[in-house]
Amino acid sequence: MTSEEAARGSELSKTAYSNIENGFRQRPKLPEIRAILRAFEVPPGQEYDEILNLCRQSLERGWWSRYRDVLAARYVGFEQEAATISTWEPIVVPGLLQVPRYMELLAESALLRPEEARRSADARMTRQHILHEDPPELWAIFDETALLRLEDDHPDVLREQARHLLELSEQPSITIQMTPARRINSGSGGPFVVLDFPDAVDPSIVYLETDTDGLYLEEPDEVARYRTLMKHLVMTALRPGETADRLRQMIE
């Protein structure tokens, strides 16, 4: 096959295919490589899997590898690939939605050294780029106490963070809900993230954050359990419109 035929067969632009073939693009995405393998009629099997594993390894060496000391680098690699991200946070605003001043307060409460705090904030801000460039579908639910804790000592940060959440909620790819502070919900077991990928060949993953890199659950029954938890949280949380109204009340 010529480069033009391969690009057409994999439904990539000529430039995109050429950059991958010539090595100018050193971290191609998994869906692109799968499309090229299909165009070349490479059947599922050992060679197919080895090529995809090489692609995954290249993703693990992305920008986030520089922040391994303050960031779960493996998780961010998965996050960059995901087509859909569903996240629940009972204590803080999800990382992809935080403003820098909110990050600083979290760093202070975690007793991070100034250099660690700066690196942590830099890493989180860089992570947030995925919300603006070919964004995944993000469904974020968190408890409103994450903001109410700011009310007495940091009202200015509360208003800034609430405004940012309102702006993000206007993006069609982002859905934000808050659970009422005085209501018990099914998420008391702790935070979690469900990651779904664009190709069904890659199984969905549940990420449970720990003090180290975290736990990754891939068994279908485990993933199904957390999907059910997420559905319950969606139903018990304030609806997106109600959440926006509550954010406006906090700002006022």
Residue pLDDT, tens place only, 200-252: 556 799 999 876 668 989 888 999 999 999 999 999 999 999 999 999 999 99
Q: Residue 188: pLDDT above 60?
A: yes
Number of other residues whose CB lies within 10 A of the CB of residue 106? 18
High-pLDDT (> 70) share of the chain, %: 91
Nearest one of 150, 158, 169, 180 to 252, comparing CA atoms? 158
Average pLDDT score over residue span 101-109:
91
Q: What is the per-residue pLDDT across 150-165, written as a single tens digit (0 to 9) for each?
A: 999 999 999 999 999 9
pLDDT the model gives residue 31? 85
Judged on CB neighbours under 10 Å (0-12, 13-18, 19+), 104 is: middle
Indicate the SS3 state at residue 194. strand
Tally Cβ neighbours within 10 Å of residue 14. 12
pTM (two decimals): 0.75
9 and 94 assigned to the same domain: no
What's 157's domain CATH number?
3.30.870
For 4-55, the pLDDT digits (tens) are: 999 999 998 888 888 888 877 767 888 888 999 999 999 988 888 888 888 8
Whether 46 and 136 map to the same domain: the answer is no
> Does one domain contain both 52 and 74?
no
For residue 187, the model assigns a pLDDT of 87
User: The domain containing residue 36 runs over which residues?
Assistant: 3-60
How confident is the model at residue 213, as a pLDDT?
Answer: 64
pLDDT tier at 134, thresholds 50, 70, 90: confident
Same domain flag for 99 and 20: no
* Averaged pLDDT score across all residues of the chain: 88
Number of domain units in the chain: 2
End-to-end Cα separation, the chain, in angstroms: 63
